[in-house]
Amino acid sequence: MFYEERCTLCGECLSKCYYLSYPEAKAKSEFEKLIKGEDSSVTRECVTCIRCNNICPENANPFDLISKRQEETGTFPFNKDRLINYDMVSKIPSKITIGDPGKSVMGVALIQKARLPGVLEGQLFEGLTTLSGGDYFSWVGNVHIGRQSLVNKENVQNLVDNYAKLNVDEIIFYHEECYVVVTYFAKEFNIDVPFRPIHIYEYLRDYVKEHSDQVKKLNMKVAYHPPCSSRYVNGMDEVLDELFELIGVERVKRKYDREGALCCGSVQSAMDTVSKEEEHEWRMKNIMDAKEAGAEAFVLLCPVCIPGLRGRAKAQGMEPYILSNLVRLALDEELTHGGAAKKFD
């Protein structure tokens, strides 16, 4: 929700944006246009990384207004064919794979064997009950395609109800967007969540603690690429840092991490106004920033981010890993399909 009463029209949300970088005067005037419902270049140029919500010194949530205006005006240049593909993904048949009695339940969302083989293998996932498909699909991705209105109370309530039908005390969420729905957005809509949501970082950290005798420290420097949805979550970076320390990993300090993280480039790849050259340039800013910071590996989480960055990271001498696979490596497990669900020669 955008809090107009908090906004001072300082313009920092647009002047400090990596993608827009408007001069201060333009930043102020363009955001004022957004507030007034007037035509603004922002709705066409914003890549929906959500970072401006973190930038805003008044916590006014400027991205929520930008996203709303993108949908109202229909000016966000998201490719129509890609939009159809997105809707097809959200309609994948639901599946509950029953695990062992007494074991935890995990929502795995878009982690599909066909697209990301080998990711749900190993002791981290043995015996878990897993939930996938449309009934458990996160609505949060709609903010990246100019359809914020679909992240509404009715849809969030239905999603929470689908999870609640399992009648369990807690649910682990592999995909951060799903965690965001049942924490941040459920709170926004005053929806009661009758189970404890567990972030994937928390699950991995706690598992490593419980199996510390199996851990072989990796002694590795890594760059981490957080999902854009992490902007909605507080306190999880500390959990991830603790996990990295437990498995012997140093998270290099770099420009495009934490509050300063870039979008993975997937949204830009689907914008009709962004060329392939521009998309590649932004992706490589992220990759080269990691390489120049001394990273030996490039670590990802979001299933949408992985395909567009893993090959580029490998080409620059950084081994790509999905976060859970990095943990599996520290547990001395074989990664049958490579660190990022693809084997490179």
| CA distances from residue 146 to 16, 88, 273 in whole angstroms, order as listed | 22, 17, 14
Supply the pLDDT for residue 255: 97
Q: Where are the domains of the chain?
A: 4-73, 83-198, 203-330
Sheet strands side by side (includes 170-173): 95-97, 129-132, 105-109, 170-173, 196-199
Region 105-131 average pLDDT:
88
Calculate what percentage of the chain has a pLDDT beyond 70.
99
Q: How far apart are CA 205 and CA 209, in angstroms?
A: 6
Instruction: Report the phi/psi class of residue 102: left, alpha or beta, with left for phi > 0 and alpha for psi in -120 to 50.
Output: left
* Reported pTM: 0.95
Point out the least confidently predicted range of 124-128, 199-203, 281-285, 338-342. Answer: 338-342
Point out the least confidently predicted range of 98-112, 125-139, 170-184, 275-289. Answer: 98-112
Supply the pLDDT for residue 114: 62
Instruction: Say whether pLDDT at 242 is over 90.
Output: yes
Instruction: Say whether pLDDT at 182 is over 90.
Output: yes
Supply the pLDDT for residue 343: 80
Supply the pLDDT for residue 99: 96
111: pLDDT confidence band, cut at 50, 70 and 90?
A: confident
Instruction: Say whether pLDDT at 66 is over 90.
Output: yes
Supply the pLDDT for residue 109: 77
More confident residue, 45 or 110: 45
Supply the pLDDT for residue 269: 95
Find where tokens 């080998």 sit. Answer: 118
What is the maximum alpha-carbon separation in the chain? 61
Supply the pLDDT for residue 345: 62
Region 131-156 average pLDDT:
93
Instruction: Say whether pLDDT at 113 is over 90.
Output: no
112: pLDDT confidence band, cut at 50, 70 and 90?
A: low
Calculate what percentage of the chain has a pLDDT beyond 90.
90
Q: Does domain 203-330 have CATH number 3.40.50?
A: yes
**Residue 202, token pair as written in the block:** 């928390």
Length reported for the chain: 345
Region 236-245 average pLDDT:
97
Point out the least confidently predicted range of 12-16, 254-258, 285-289, 303-307. Answer: 303-307
